[in-house]
Amino acid sequence: MSADDSDQGPVGPGTGEDGPAFGDGEPAPGDGNTDQGEAEEGVQLPPLDPRGQLRALLDAPDRDRCPGVRPVVSVDAEDDPNFISEVNERCVAAPRLIRRGAFHGDWAELHDQDGFFPRDPLPALAERWEEARPIILHDVLDDDLLDSVVTDRWLDGLRERGGLAAFLKERTADLAPEYRVQGPRRPAVADERDVEGATISWRAPKGRPTRGPGAIDDLWAKTQRLSTHPDDHSLRLRLSFGDEIEADASRDMARHRAVSELANRLLPEVAALNADRELTGLVAEWIRGKPLLTQAIAYWNAPNGGARFHHDAFDEPTGGRQRGVLYAQLTGATAWVALSTDDLLRRALEFAELLQEGEFPWVREHIAPGAGDLESWLDLLHDPERARRVLGAPGGGALGPLIDQGPEFTSLLADAGHGFVVTAGDVILLPNHGLEQTCMHSVFCASDEEAFSLSLAIRQQERASASGGRKGSARRRGSRPRGNSRGGGRRGGRGSRPGSSRRR
């Protein structure tokens, strides 16, 4: 996640105890963190107005559609009352996007009935992987895994210095005999967000052949805040090896295997993901080889936390590169804007052209006040090859102020089908085909409390057989009700925003 604490856009409206309904109508079904749309099995929704704004948004020919995903649209207090009424009839969750004090808009996640479900989703999902578009697998995680989450209970202890040492000490028996905690670790480059670090060594079991060195002494674990913003209490626990910057792009598979097994022993939820043959089989099919889930990060995304637009690609050769990221939501909910590099450039050009036409004058004044600022962005965005290189830089490079603008740009992306609500039991996959063709993403907490999740880098450890990857078809698992566990309701009250964010 981005180390930059700042967010584009004005500070959001003041918050209260109860979030009002969209507009002046009855409360949306998503109010109070309740997924009423699915709780009422067999509910028949009224047909959408064929000439209405919601129907136009959902049917837009350029809207991104991922199989099995509930549609998300943005909602503004000044939207047409008929639009708001239709949204309220179908809304199952209504997250308010606030990150480190910056307001990024209000969303409505709509009922399953409004989603896109092809008869056989696998070809569509495989195509999305090749295009570096996000893949969301709803309810794919086993109930047993969700019912047995234990790492989440360590949050309070890990916030303080000494908490990581205690966490590792309690797991000494699980680490032995191959792994041993050597003591505190200080990174070569200090980061004010760091809480605590530890160095861990690995020794090959006696009498067992190894595929690589018999000893590794540069594994490590660290706890870190996601930002220094005083109201962002998000935390992460990260496992890796070597230099904290260079090793992310390392193709040292012996060390990747060692840190992958370290995660299995420290985080039982990671071991459960690795044991999920259906999930790993899908990934194997798309990367055409056996995946290795490595460099685990446990996240606690807290209200007012998240991540600005970024990607997880590295400047590394094609062979052996990181193939993407698997992100599993275990408690709570997160809201995502996720799309391919090319899709983001296309939407950024669309937004810049709207600014040029006079839309959102307050946005232009905020992010492009100087003569020629907007024109330089337009020139760049009309040169896709150069724009891809710029977007691959940390923070989106010169395009950073444009793509992190909220709520106007964030809302435009949601209305174009690039917004997703990821809840407990869901997995989002972020494909990566290199610095200039990867999945860009921005994250917000969508829960009233910390949302616990796991992020795992996908690498390929073995080639697939000539017949390809996993055989058979995927089934949508998970029969638990989505009810209150979603944690996706609005936090706080609504303030008026200048103009409507619905500009597509």
List strands edge to edge, sheet with 235-241: 135-137, 427-431, 324-329, 451-463, 289-301, 235-241, 215-225, 194-203, 179-184
* Model pLDDT for residues 6-65, shown as the tens digit of each residue: 565 443 333 333 333 565 444 343 333 334 334 445 678 999 999 999 999 999 999 999
Q: Report which of 28, 42, 40 is spatially closest to residue 86, judged by C-alpha positions.
A: 28
Look at residue 467 and tell me whether its pLDDT is greater than 90: no
Token pair in block for residue 307: 């991540």
What pLDDT is stored for residue 393 in this prediction? 87
Residue 33 exposure: Cα atoms within 13 Å on the Cβ side? 17
Q: Which of 19-33, 378-392, 430-444 has the lowest mean pLDDT?
A: 19-33
* C-alpha pair distances (Å), 408 with each of 9, 185, 261: 9, 43, 43
What pLDDT is stored for residue 7 in this prediction? 66
Look at residue 405 and tell me whether its pLDDT is greater than 80: yes
What pLDDT is stored for residue 41 in this prediction? 56
Q: What is the mean pLDDT of residues 104-131?
A: 95
Distance CA 64, CA 418 (A): 6
Look at residue 501 and tell me whether its pLDDT is greater than 50: no
What pLDDT is stored for residue 43 in this prediction? 74
* C-alpha pair distances (Å), 38 with each of 42, 111, 135, 152, 401: 8, 7, 21, 27, 38
Collapse the DSSP code of 308 into the 3-class scheme (helix H, G, I; strand E, B; otherwise coil) and give the result: strand
Distance CA 122, CA 128 (A): 10
| CB 329, CB 453: distance < 8 Å | yes
What pLDDT is stored for residue 370 in this prediction? 87
The larger pLDDT score, comparing residue 476 to residue 24, is at 24
Q: What is the mean pLDDT of residues 97-103?
A: 94
- Residue 251 pLDDT level (bands cut at 50, 70, 90): confident
- What are the DSSP E strand ranges found in 277-332? 289-301, 306-310, 324-329
What pLDDT is stored for residue 209 in this prediction? 67
What pLDDT is stored for residue 272 in this prediction? 97
Beta bridge partners of 98: 103
| CB 32, CB 17: distance < 8 Å | no
The secondary element (H helix, E strand) that includes residue 444 is strand 439-445
Look at residue 243 and tell me whether its pLDDT is greater than 50: yes
Q: What is the mean pLDDT of residues 362-376?
A: 91
CA-based Rg of the chain, rounded to a whole angstrom?
22
DSSP string covering 93-131: E--EEEETTEEEEEEEEEPGGGS---SSHHHHHHHHHHT
Distance CA 406, CA 167 (A): 38
What pLDDT is stored for residue 21 in this prediction? 53
Token pair in block for residue 345: 């450039």
Q: What is the mean pLDDT of residues 342-363?
A: 96
Q: What is the mean pLDDT of residues 256-263?
A: 96
Which residue matches tokens 């570096």? Answer: 132
Measured at the CA of 409, the angle between CA 406 and CA 414, to 5 degrees, comes to: 105
Q: What is the mean pLDDT of residues 437-466?
A: 87
Residue ranges in 222-306 assigned as alpha helix (H): 253-266, 268-274, 277-287
Beta bridge partners of 108: 73
The larger pLDDT score, comparing residue 245 to residue 394, is at 394
* C-alpha pair distances (Å), 259 with each of 208, 221, 237, 314: 18, 10, 13, 19
Residue ranges in 194-276 assigned as alpha helix (H): 253-266, 268-274
* Model pLDDT for residues 169-212, shown as the tens digit of each residue: 999 999 999 999 999 998 777 789 999 999 999 999 886 766 67
What pLDDT is stored for residue 207 in this prediction? 67
- Give the CA dihedral 412, 417, 421, 424, nearest 10 degrees: -160
What pLDDT is stored for residue 367 in this prediction? 92
Which residue matches tokens 């983001």? Answer: 344
pLDDT, mean over the chain: 84
DSSP string covering 379-395: HHHT-HHHHHHHHTSGG
